[in-house]
Structure 1
Amino acid sequence: MSLQQKIDRITDILRRDDGISGAMHYTEQTSWMLFLKFLDDYESEKEDEAELSGKSYQPVLDDEHRWVNWACPKTADGKLDLARARTGDDLTDYVNNQLFPYLKSFANAAATGADPKSFTYKIGAIFQYLDNKVASGHTLREVLDIIDTLNFQSSDEMFELSLVYEGLLQSMGDAGGYAGEFYTPRPVVRAMIKAIDPQAGQTIYDAAAGSCGFLVEAFEHLKSKKSELTTEQWNFIQRDTFFGFEKTSLAYVMGMMNLILHGIESPNLFRGNTLTQNIRDIQEKDRYDIILANPPFGGKEKDQIQQNFPIKANATELLFLQHFMKTLKTGGKAAIVVPEGVLFQTNSAFKQVKQELLENLNLHTILSLPAGVFLPYSGVKTNVLFFERSGGTSDVWYYECEPEQKLTKNKPITDDHLKEFVELYSSRATTDRSWTVAASKLTEDYDLSAKNPAKQKDAEHLAPSDILKQIRTKEKLVSGLLDEIEDLLAEK
């Protein structure tokens, strides 16, 4: 049975459980079991490494609550020890009343100053927001037995599992109804990262992390250059590169799992509402080299939150944009997904934020995405703003992505749709789909909408007498058609 088949089998088993309702539940429940199996394999590997080097290793979980002892205990010949393996009510009673209270207790350690990079902290952060929803202990036993066959010490299996987990997250997002902020299509994410081209030693930040797609893809981008990296650079990537905040508890758990399953041992992901931070307090030490994000839009924030921003606005997209502008390091690069309204709206708050962006940062590129990128959960047209903290804006290069066929749920955006954009990004060449506009023209009304000059037709200016002649001609045609219709009706 392939790994994909195993995960599909788990999904089918969970679907029939009375406690599970929909993709969000079975992804969440699969996740906590995957995490505990991963942790057990990780700790076993660390124990082996310590033994070989003559050192000792203290596991994070005590013996009773380690996977190998409660989930799938083995006999001497490596088979499931049926005498010790719980099932039915015994299993659910143990998981609900012993295992989860134990795992939730790690939240106290996290709250009292445990190292945020440690697994102690991460266990507390994850399980304080989770509960076992699998109602049947027999269902739980079936799932545990399948997950126990996964090998997290195999780099090939870890890679395959990371891809399978991405599929689970996407199906969860589609079912959740808020996937526009939870799951950004990976071709869009990859195009943004290829254009920005993060380097080892840089910090990478997403203040609305969702399932952490941006951070995961940035890690994959850096990992592709692993052969060129020093041990020190690789350790920095593992522990000090990726930072993020996520407001919702479920997305936070999924995001943390996604990062860990992709091989980032110590992601700096925190749960919290980014917008509660007063951006006036942000200093250079709090800033990041690279910012990649698709923040939630269309939401409204109360006045108390708006007080944290120099330009008050209840639209979340404007608040997040101000946050990103403030948290970008000198010389740093950002790529942010925004709804079309940010570009064309020119009321007071929108105009002020765009004025700040054009005057104090270099908004050098706007990628106009086609309608339907976020279908089926949102039809809002979006754009990607690329800007740097390197002085003000002189020119803006636009690229209009226009697939030959209309995007739908079953015909989503692909890497090929954005291939030309990535190729042209550095040269900023002018083509039928790309053009450059001087910032001085944009500051006349602060409408930053993509208006492709290749599509603009010169207006035909007619004399008033000619316009009247055209109107009379059309009136005669309409009158004649009405007469024909009356004759046909009279014949009946």
Structure 2
Amino acid sequence: MITGTIKTQIDRIWDAFWSGGIANPMEVIEQMTYLLFIKRLDELQTGREKKAARTGKDVENPIFNKRQQKLRWSRFKELGAPAEMYRLVADEVFPFIKTLGGEGGESTYSTHMKDARFTIPTPALLAKVVDLIDQVPMDDRDTKGDVYEYMLGKIASAGQNGQFRTPRHITKLMVEMMAPRPEDTICDPACGTAGFLVAAAEYMDAHHRDEIYKDKKSVRRFNAETFHGFDFDTTMLRVGSMNMLLHGVENPAIEYRDSLSEGHAGVEGQFSLILANPPFAGSLDYESTAKDLLQVVKTKKTELLFLALFLRLLKPGGRAAVIVPDGVLFGSSKAHKALRRMLVEDHKLDGIVSMPSGVFRPYAGVSTAILLFTKTNSGGTDQVWFYDMQADGYSLDDKRNPLDAGRHESNNLPDILKRWQGRKGEGKRVRTEQSFLVPKAEIAGNDYDLSISRYKQVVHEAVEYDPPLKILAELKALEAEIMRGVDELEGMLK
């Protein structure tokens, strides 16, 4: 987590944008992201120069050539005149970053940057923001992610389509549960700022670094073939592709695609892992919905259509960890039941993590769950693993303050991962515990209801009360004492 000092610094930058004439939160984030990106490029170049100095070799893959040195953050921030800095950034630095990313040909990044605009209105605002950003310590990789997360957290509303951020620690948990491998082809069909893809890339870098960088073919696969993201918001596509590039993935396949409205002939059965938190607040007309999704389940509800989409996109043996609203688990409509039956009977439903309603505050108070399944087309569900998450390490109110992460009652996430990884041995657990296994036959007998409350047993503590006659006697004595007090007060007033 970022410190209060860094939060204050980000708040000051945010306030500077607002007072300088940029009031749209996404525009603030977009312009701020460009500047953070420019600063990061300079840091990367400096690191490569230091390595070259140590080894006595030329700088490997330089970002800036000799003629472009003036475009570096460390150079233009020293320019004394704000007007001179503004001209350089607007006319040379910004056009320069629009061309970056990928080797040979046009990259995903440069494709989405074509329509990017530098909208900081005045030299004074640029100079102020550059000075403020320069003071934010972001040498640590995790701090960069936290800063970015905090920036995105300043968007106060969920948006028209039910979009809201997945908290970084929940994203990380889902990625760790899925444990992506170098051979995976990973997709988020509602990628937004690419948080799931970034987390998956970080996991692979931490756990499989030797494999993903072992030769040029492996590096090319990691940079250009492993990560796929879809969205129909062009700003999100730019921010998402830039976010990936900042985290070391040079050319991810982040595409403009309306996932629910377009056919999926080109991407059907292409992915081995799906990580997603799709928007699920709306509904679509049948005419607007991709026909291949309606063949899976006929519904207008976006949360069910996205589940149908995930099954379409996964290859046999592919797995998924996705967030769904609780209604998906127990909804009584024909479409709800059909989709749950499909997951249990036609594929392999692996697990369900029930999350408290405060996880997505302050954006939404909806109760959600993590759904974990494997596409098989041939069944395979034997027992379904359930976990009742009661705490995620933060207060469950709008403030979402961090709690004592070392205590189980404050943070269940380490326990969730541990039990998930050892879920084959969970059969001995009783239904009163936080996790347990439920046989498929029992789920089928409950009309494929997947809500944890259907299966968890709640133990009520026995409370012993005094006999009724004793309670009545105590009430009479209390009433007599009250009346004596009333009589004394009345005597004092006469």
The TM-score with structure 1 as length reference comes to 0.74
Shift of 1:171: 2.4
Pairing partner for 1:243 from 228, 245, 259: 228
2:397 aligns with: 408
User: Partner amino acid for 1:331?
Assistant: G
2:288 aligns with: 304
Specify whether residues 264 and 119 from structure 1 end up closer, same or farther in structure 2 by C-alpha distance, changes over 3 A only. Answer: farther
Specify whether residues 340 and 56 from structure 1 end up closer, same or farther in structure 2 by C-alpha distance, changes over 3 A only. Answer: closer
Matched residues in 2 for 1:306 and 1:36: separation? 39
Pairing partner for 2:247 from 262, 265, 269: 262
Matched residues in 2 for 1:3 and 1:381: separation? 31
Contact 1:117 1:239 in 2 (8 A): no
Write out aligned runs for 1:344-423 (5 A): 344-390=330-376, 391-392=378-379, 393-403=381-391, 407-411=396-400, 416-423=411-418
Contact 1:72 1:80 in 2 (8 A): yes
> Secondary structure of the residue that 2:360 maps to in structure 1?
coil
Write out aligned runs for 1:27-426 (5 A): 27-39=29-41, 68-69=70-71, 80-82=78-80, 87-88=82-83, 120-145=106-131, 156-172=139-155, 174=156, 177=159, 181-226=163-208, 228-229=210-211, 231-232=213-214, 235=219, 236-279=221-264, 282-284=267-269, 287-302=270-285, 303-309=287-293, 310=295, 311-390=297-376, 391-392=378-379, 393-403=381-391, 407-411=396-400, 416-426=411-421
User: Partner amino acid for 1:305?
Assistant: T
> Secondary structure of the residue that 2:319 maps to in structure 1?
strand
Specify whether residues 456 and 381 from structure 1 end up closer, same or farther in structure 2 by C-alpha distance, changes over 3 A only. Answer: same
Matched residues in 2 for 1:364 and 1:425: separation? 10
Shift of 1:407: 1.8
> Secondary structure of the residue that 2:373 maps to in structure 1?
strand
User: Partner amino acid for 1:407?
Assistant: L
Specify whether residues 300 and 454 from structure 1 end up closer, same or farther in structure 2 by C-alpha distance, changes over 3 A only. Answer: closer
Specify whether residues 190 and 179 from structure 1 end up closer, same or farther in structure 2 by C-alpha distance, changes over 3 A only. Answer: farther
Pairing partner for 1:21 from 9, 20, 23: 23
User: Partner amino acid for 1:165?
Assistant: Y
Shift of 1:366: 1.0
Contact 1:162 1:262 in 2 (8 A): no
Shift of 1:44: 7.8
> Secondary structure of the residue that 1:363 maps to in structure 2?
strand
The worse-fitting range, judged by mean Cα deviation, of 402-411 and 418-427 is: 402-411
User: Partner amino acid for 1:449?
Assistant: S
The worse-fitting range, judged by mean Cα deviation, of 392-401 and 301-310 is: 301-310
Matched residues in 1 for 2:228 and 2:303: separation? 20
Contact 1:73 1:81 in 2 (8 A): yes
Contact 2:318 2:375 in 1 (8 A): yes
CA deviations on 1:185-210 (whole Å, 9 max, x unpaired) are 12222222222111222222111112
Specify whether residues 158 and 446 from structure 1 end up closer, same or farther in structure 2 by C-alpha distance, changes over 3 A only. Answer: closer
Matched residues in 1 for 2:263 and 2:327: separation? 25
Shift of 1:211: 2.0
Matched residues in 2 for 1:297 and 1:321: separation? 11
Specify whether residues 117 and 329 from structure 1 end up closer, same or farther in structure 2 by C-alpha distance, changes over 3 A only. Answer: farther
Contact 2:48 2:59 in 1 (8 A): no
> Secondary structure of the residue that 2:421 maps to in structure 1?
coil
Shift of 1:340: 0.9
CA deviations on 1:136-195 (whole Å, 9 max, x unpaired) are 22111233355578999xxx45553333222222223x4565796341012222222222
> Secondary structure of the residue that 1:372 maps to in structure 2?
helix
2:468 aligns with: none
* Identity %, equivalent residues: 29
Shift of 1:239: 3.6
How many residue pairs get aligned? The number is 433
User: Partner amino acid for 1:337?
Assistant: I
> Secondary structure of the residue that 2:214 maps to in structure 1?
helix
Backbone CA RMSD of aligned residues: 4.0
Gaps spanning 5+ residues in structure 2: where?
406-410, 461-494
Contact 2:71 2:89 in 1 (8 A): no
Shift of 1:5: 7.0
